[in-house]
Structure 1
């Protein structure tokens, strides 16, 4: 019995030692993947360690974005729990409603770039492809209501995009080509014009012949049609399509930042984005529903164009920050023959934010008798 007890004790010590060794090795991985001392500003609108933040916040760094090899910023949200942005047409998707924690309502998620809200003032959507990936330093995703700090558009949460500071001259050139004549070319140049003046220039072009995204469905069986089912399980027959969804987009931006001293700076940024989409020749099968559904085969082009102007003054020594933003969406046009609609929705947004941060010192005194 004593021999068995000694053997059991030695076995337990061996297992415990192996577990401790594995835990110590895994600690290195945990430290690399979860940086709890990362400074975030979304939860309280002032810099605070992620470990000390009570809110549900996730951080995506520029290093994470490089490792993902993505084309648009919203593609990175697949790594964030509770966040979904539909992109059913690839880079040609215009539906960019952000869903957070199941809230799928317009203007429910506030999206900010350096403190300036970039949501469409008409429906709350965001042109994610207009945000150059090379300029992003980190993305903070705050899940949960934040209307007290960010207004009514933050009912479901906040996505705060923070761009990079210029510390040295850099040039990033990317050229890519893929199937369906898909092209994604970008150029980003940043540097110092002087000891106090930084600048950055960016240009990006995205283009594709697209692929078929809008099949025409029939509730009756048609010879030569392809059988499918709806999301509720009902049987349908594909009797044709609208053709391939084509896309052409151009984005250009320029920014300047002047440093008055180590704590005071003034930044000016301008971004212009234009895109248009269309469909190639539609395809149909033979059948009785062809005449009845003739209008569903056709879809006409759409387009969108906007200019964004931002100005940010920051005085970190005294805790002052002022942000002014103006967005002029001067072109947004969608047409649909099947629904006989012609919609033009130009809109503008002006925002001003003044913030004062003050640190309070808490002194605890204890009297001993």
Structure 2
């Protein structure tokens, strides 16, 4: 019988060092590599083919990393609630969040049919190419999709294992695990509502906000803040304040992501700039543009943004971009991001965080929303 892999220890130099959110985004890479190396050794003992073709690919995607925002917010929540000293638990919680994010990205790319992720082929695309190169029978596309679902499942299993190990090793493990459980369900609910809205060709502003809150705001900021604070033994008042701050900041983050999905530079974002428009994904940006087009009688904009069963051509995508600008939706979303940022910083201050941590949170929100630093600091 195979032994389960032991929990990886944080590097000695990170255990008792003062840890800011900025430090955590770098330090978690070291911890994540340790964690993944342990999981890979176990995977090779289970089955070398599975380990080489699936687990190794998942490891590369995870270690390639993104902004590590969830780890940064978890650390910020920990410090806001008085966390100090041994950083092992908060760094391992951050690593679990990064593994969960890998699961979400792999599955999201499958569901959206996205071809690129973090500047490289999406997991299902890479696996389909491997199928074709190996001369296997059957559909390479079907194989790639099925195998990518398994890769996402593996990332979720690794994340759950790591979070459970962390919870068992801390006196506040029960609260930590409760926050984690809630976050996982919210994430799946948001993804389902996203799929459903696309299938129903939905256009409602309230529905777009509900999806953005479930799929991104809670998962990206609110729950990571609460996870970190739970490790420090935060009380209910502090946790509720941090969750409120996180919902506002996370929603601002998602609205910025919507703008990048429509107008961003793929060289900077690492993913195509027209996927959301080509598939007519329900975003707050799209819903607001349709509402404004109806209110002003802009029939050309309404037609450009209306549901269409056929995949959208490059010309149709450009018409959508023009409509988003002409209706004023792009400017309105920018204003909404600023409003949500102000609300988030107010909630965070009322949660009782020390001044230095409030400043750190302000910088994190500015980073997450691409808001000018002077604007964020003024809001603080």
TM-score (norm 2): 0.24
Instruction: Point out the structure with max Rg over C-alpha.
Output: 1
Greater length-normalized contact order (CA 8 Å, ≥ 6 residues apart): 2
Q: Which has the higher helix share?
A: 2
Q: Which has the higher strand share?
A: 1
